[in-house]
Structure 1
Amino acid sequence: MGDSQALQRGLWRNKSYRYLLGSQLVSNLGDWLDLLALFALLSFKWQITSMEMAYTMICFGLPMVVFGPISGVLADRFERRTLMIISDVLRIPLVLAFIFGTSVWQIYIILLVKGALGALFNPAKNGKLKEIVAPEHMDKAITYSTMIEQSTKIIGPMLSGVLLSGFGIAAAFYVDAASFLLSALLLIRIPIRQVISSPSAHEARKSMIKELKSGFAFMSKVPFILFGTFLFCLVILVLQIADSQITILLRDIPGMSTEFLGITIAASGLGLLGTATLLSRKSIQSVLPIMCTGIIGLGVVFAGAAWLALLQNGFELLIPLAFLLGGASAGLVFIPFNSTVQKRTPVEYSGRVFGTIGSMTTLMSITGPVIGGVLATLYGVVSAFIWSGSLLAIIGILTLILGKSIDRSATTNVTESA
């Protein structure tokens, strides 16, 4: 206990880490206000179809697929704090543009541009975390970052519900724009990294493909990162079949509202926050069994939520409880995977590795909604949830049986393979 407390004290003395967390806090909070306000606008006010919701989710994710690996290279070559500030500042007018949108096509365009800037931010943030936090503090640093992310998932929907009901949809977008400004101001307080070399534009273009290949080559040398990324992508693909249709599922239940949507998402965040708290108390020794437990849990929750919505005899009020369990299960998947990848990736590869992983998972995030949209259109949104839940449970069980050797490699120090 004494050693653990000493590590925590050492981490919290790190001013750069505190400013980075502060930036994440306000930015994540604003993002949830933005997201729920947009869902309220599209699903409850504009009454878009399942396929239009699928296209919306594609616009959320497509920029990461296109720009993720490239932004990872940029995050490894240029000063990461500067990239994050640029990303924050340029997203301010885009958030405000949602207020003046008059058609779903305008929303698509805004989402694509905003997502491209977000793709620049995330690898830089992950690389900066690796840059400013000592290796012995990394487990705690990632856990606290995840806890803040999920805390905003609870507070954000609640605050969004207040803003939407009391001040209208536009208020949430104004607050999100202000959060990007505050995030940029906090990032200014983080010291810049001394850039060893400043390559010309020609040199940067010439070596970018080479550096992307080196990122893939590193991942191929670490069995857990390679297999874990494949498993993570598969889970995201199947998860998004149902998750992208959650607003449609709730909208089709008589008497549902944007406030109920906020409660459901807040419950999911509370469950994940609980998992993050439990995992922060001890080191993760066996990664894949924990991830498989979470995958199976997600499958049970999604299939169960579909049946609760189908009954519509008061049982639908249990949906927030189901998503509380779903959030806890998601934490068992996301936290061990991200923590292990962080620990096994040297700082000089972190931008490329996380940029590549982000690109691959986001590709799944835009493919899943298309499948979900087609299933929901042809057979109903409940069917999409049942299919998604059943497939997740199968994936979790099969991986639990077949993945023991890969799990052992995750506990071995393999950073020298770089």
Structure 2
Amino acid sequence: MTEDTTAKAASKPSLWKRRGYVTYLGSQTVAQLGFQVSVVAIPLIAVLELDASPVELGLLVAAERVPFLIFALMAGVLVDRFSRRRLLIYASILRAPLVLTIPVAAAMGWMTVTQLYVVAFLLGTLTVLSDVAALSIMPSLVPKDFLAGANAKLEAARSASEVVGPGLGGALVQFITAPFALVVDAVSFLVSGAMLSALPKDEDPKEKAESGKQSAWQDIKEGIAFVWRTDVLRWNAVVAGLTNLFAYAFLAIQFLFIIDDLQLGAVFVGVLLSLGGVGGVLGALAAGWISNRLGIGTGFLSGSVTMAAGVLLVGLAPAGMGFGLVLAGSGYFLFVCGIPIFNVAAVTIRQAVTPAPLLGRTNATMRFLIWGSIPLGSLIGGVVAEATSSRAVVLLTGAALLIPTVLLVLSPIRGLRITENQDQP
């Protein structure tokens, strides 16, 4: 590092001195903690309260992800035309009453799998808007060469919530039943929305009026065209899309696998997910260092390899509380450890190479392509598990996750590094 570079780095405030970023980090941490409770509670409602089949579980996961196929591209237009801060606030607060319909229905004796599908779909729709706005607001909160570190801290917060949240969720399900555990999730959305309101105001919609002069379809096409002509974004979309396809085939049936194949109870669902959360925290702490010191491409590749190894270990775990629990716990640890390393690299590349006026549409296009594979993967996982076994799905998806790893080795992303003066197409 040159003296000039060192002086410039020293002259910039650290991430912890950037009030907007710290506020945003806090809001996301609160929301993630509540969300992790629902990650455990909603599938367990389907399995324990409503006796859902593998296909119904696959449909439940798919219902929450289908909105990315339907609404992601239009969400990008909204995010580039309106205040990203305001959209984040609305999306957070509106999710609270949706989640509360489940405990209310349970108390009235009206709860059905169909209701879970509807709530999951509507929550997914608001998540689309929130997710695209969140990805797009980050470059306005920190400089470009701080993006990897900022994204890594967000992933660390998410991973830390995965340590506490599933264990808390499992305990709440055990003592107050799964439907009423969701009250914690609803409260977290309200608190997060209040914290987001303290963010510095971003551009007023009037300042974005220029983008509104063309139709929404023209805006969408502009975002798609930018992704298509940018090599690293094309490869990013292919690799991340395939990773989600295979990973969510596993995630859709993981609760059935833990309960039926590993013969562990609801409490151990939380234990395994919490062990994964510990791996996620360590992965998130390492993600910024790997991306900054070894290169963003190395981060992408190492995250991909670690995820595949973790799922394979889970699939090889025998039933029971002894060696099976140890092997499954190690697998969850590795799988979730790889996720933040992978995600930090994928997200930072998009934020660094995209001009600010296109951030919403670029992130929306990437989410459409990447998360659009999740419903298909979830359905495939459920169908294959019903036709064969949950264990077969876990082993097959672990092997399939090596495909994106090979593609990364062949792609221009492998040797990529991100700097403050990163060129934009």
**Counterpart among 249, 258, 281 of residue 257 in structure 2:** 249
2:231 is aligned to 223
Mapped pair 1:113 → 2:122? yes
**Counterpart among 259, 263, 266 of residue 258 in structure 1:** 266
**More displaced 10-residue stretch of structure 1: 169-178 or 25-34:** 169-178
1:133 Cα deviation (Å)? 1.9
Q: 2:332 is matched by which residue type in structure 1?
A: F
Q: 1:258 is matched by which residue type in structure 2?
A: A
Q: 2:43 is matched by which residue type in structure 1?
A: F
Mapped pair 1:303 → 2:307? no
- Aligned mates of 1:268, 1:414 — CA distance in 2: 34
The structure-2 alpha-carbon separation of the partners of 1:194 and 1:292, relative to structure 1 and needing over 3 Å to count, comes to: closer
**Counterpart among 36, 39, 49 of residue 35 in structure 1:** 39
**More displaced 10-residue stretch of structure 1: 108-117 or 277-286:** 277-286
1:294 Cα deviation (Å)? 3.0
Query: In the alignment, is the contact (CA less than 8 A) between 2:100 and 2:183 conserved in 1?
Result: yes
1:317 Cα deviation (Å)? 0.9
- Aligned mates of 1:43, 1:226 — CA distance in 2: 38
1:3 Cα deviation (Å)? 7.0
The structure-2 alpha-carbon separation of the partners of 1:392 and 1:199, relative to structure 1 and needing over 3 Å to count, comes to: closer
**More displaced 10-residue stretch of structure 1: 106-115 or 218-227:** 218-227
1:216-365 to 2 correspondence within 5 Å?
Answer: 216-253=224-261, 255-281=263-289, 283-309=292-318, 312=320, 314-318=322-326, 319-365=328-374
Task: Give SS of 1:214's match.
Answer: helix
**1:179-237 CA distance string (max 9 Å, x none):** 1111111111112223262789xx95952111111112222232111111111101111
- Aligned mates of 2:242, 2:344 — CA distance in 1: 16
2:99 is aligned to 95
1:407 is aligned to 414
- Aligned mates of 2:218, 2:212 — CA distance in 1: 10
The structure-2 alpha-carbon separation of the partners of 1:394 and 1:273, relative to structure 1 and needing over 3 Å to count, comes to: same
Q: 1:235 is matched by which residue type in structure 2?
A: T
**More displaced 10-residue stretch of structure 1: 17-26 or 331-340:** 331-340
- Please list every run of 5 or more consecutive structure 1 residues that lacks an aligned counterpart in the other structure: none
1:121-270 to 2 correspondence within 5 Å?
Answer: 121-195=130-204, 197=206, 204=212, 207-253=215-261, 255-270=263-278
**Counterpart among 71, 77, 84 of residue 73 in structure 1:** 77
The structure-2 alpha-carbon separation of the partners of 1:194 and 1:9, relative to structure 1 and needing over 3 Å to count, comes to: closer
Task: Give SS of 1:189's match.
Answer: coil
The structure-2 alpha-carbon separation of the partners of 1:219 and 1:409, relative to structure 1 and needing over 3 Å to count, comes to: farther
- Aligned mates of 2:67, 2:252 — CA distance in 1: 17
Query: In the alignment, is the contact (CA less than 8 A) between 2:136 and 2:351 conserved in 1?
Result: no
1:58 Cα deviation (Å)? 0.7
**1:344-397 CA distance string (max 9 Å, x none):** 222222111111111222211100011111111111111111111111124423
1:123 Cα deviation (Å)? 1.1
Query: In the alignment, is the contact (CA less than 8 A) between 2:224 and 2:362 conserved in 1?
Result: yes
Query: In the alignment, is the contact (CA less than 8 A) between 1:68 and 1:359 conserved in 2?
Result: yes
- Aligned mates of 1:26, 1:355 — CA distance in 2: 24
Query: In the alignment, is the contact (CA less than 8 A) between 1:296 and 1:394 conserved in 2?
Result: no
1:11 Cα deviation (Å)? 2.0
The structure-2 alpha-carbon separation of the partners of 1:277 and 1:177, relative to structure 1 and needing over 3 Å to count, comes to: same
Query: In the alignment, is the contact (CA less than 8 A) between 1:28 and 1:149 conserved in 2?
Result: yes
Query: In the alignment, is the contact (CA less than 8 A) between 1:19 and 1:187 conserved in 2?
Result: yes
Query: In the alignment, is the contact (CA less than 8 A) between 1:154 and 1:267 conserved in 2?
Result: yes
1:111 Cα deviation (Å)? 1.1
Scaled by the length of structure 2, the TM-score of the pair is: 0.89
The structure-2 alpha-carbon separation of the partners of 1:8 and 1:169, relative to structure 1 and needing over 3 Å to count, comes to: farther
2:376 is aligned to 367
- Aligned mates of 2:234, 2:203 — CA distance in 1: 31
- Aligned mates of 1:69, 1:261 — CA distance in 2: 35
**1:151-179 CA distance string (max 9 Å, x none):** 11111112212322233324421111111
**1:106-140 CA distance string (max 9 Å, x none):** 11011111211111111111222122222243222
Scaled by the length of structure 1, the TM-score of the pair is: 0.91
Q: 2:140 is matched by which residue type in structure 1?
A: E
- Aligned mates of 2:62, 2:355 — CA distance in 1: 32
Query: In the alignment, is the contact (CA less than 8 A) between 2:227 and 2:365 conserved in 1?
Result: no
The structure-2 alpha-carbon separation of the partners of 1:140 and 1:307, relative to structure 1 and needing over 3 Å to count, comes to: closer
The structure-2 alpha-carbon separation of the partners of 1:22 and 1:7, relative to structure 1 and needing over 3 Å to count, comes to: farther
The structure-2 alpha-carbon separation of the partners of 1:5 and 1:266, relative to structure 1 and needing over 3 Å to count, comes to: farther
2:26 is aligned to 22
Q: 2:26 is matched by which residue type in structure 1?
A: G
Task: Give SS of 1:245's match.
Answer: helix
Query: In the alignment, is the contact (CA less than 8 A) between 2:80 and 2:208 conserved in 1?
Result: no
1:297 Cα deviation (Å)? 3.0
Task: Give SS of 2:406's match.
Answer: helix
Query: In the alignment, is the contact (CA less than 8 A) between 1:284 and 1:336 conserved in 2?
Result: no
The structure-2 alpha-carbon separation of the partners of 1:58 and 1:205, relative to structure 1 and needing over 3 Å to count, comes to: farther
- Aligned mates of 1:277, 1:4 — CA distance in 2: 24
**1:43-95 CA distance string (max 9 Å, x none):** 23322111001100111101122111111111111011111111122111100
The structure-2 alpha-carbon separation of the partners of 1:221 and 1:414, relative to structure 1 and needing over 3 Å to count, comes to: farther
Q: 1:103 is matched by which residue type in structure 2?
A: T
